[in-house]
Amino acid sequence: GAGVSQSPSNKVTEKGKDVELRCDPISGHTALYWYRQSLGQGLEFLIYFQGNSAPDKSGLPSDRFSAERTGGSVSTLTIQRTQQEDSAVYLCASSPRTRSEQFFGPGTRLTVL
């Protein structure tokens, strides 16, 4: 079946602009995660959605970052007033239930000039 998809695959933007990154999880998966991966680094947790529960936003690095998940499916990660240090690959993952394997999408590579 279809895996996790993310769009766009690449995004180049100018410093100060806002960007939106989209994640389509695997159908039926109730949990959705966003991670950030800087060049040559491991993955940094950003935010987690589980069903109708309040999201775990503990990993968001600043108030310029926000995310929403509509209808328990598609999620959008928004970065306002982008900075050069926001340049990274943003990865989305979903899992069928709490405390189970996470399936990752291919990521969106964000470059802030």
Yes or no: say if 86 and 79 are a contact pair by the CB < 8 Å rule.
Answer: yes
Q: What would the two tokens of residue 18 be?
A: 């806002």
**Number of residues this chain uses to bind another protein (CB under 8 A):** 26
Residue 45 Cβ, how far from another protein at the closest point, in Å? 4
**DSSP per-residue letters across 29-50:** --EEEEEEE-TT--EEEEEEEE
Question: Which window, 61-69, 70-78, 80-88, 96-104, contacts another protein (CB under 8 A)?
Answer: 96-104
Q: Does 91 bind another protein (CB under 8 A)?
A: yes
Q: Does 7 bind another protein (CB under 8 A)?
A: no
> Which residue's structure tokens are 């998966």?
29
Q: What would the two tokens of residue 104 be?
A: 């990752």
Q: Does 23 bind another protein (CB under 8 A)?
A: no
- Report the candidate in 105, 108, 110 with the shortest Cα–Cα distance to residue 5: 105
Binding residues for another protein, rule: CB under 8 A, are 4, 31, 33, 35, 40-45, 48, 50, 56, 58-59, 91, 93, 98-99, 101-107
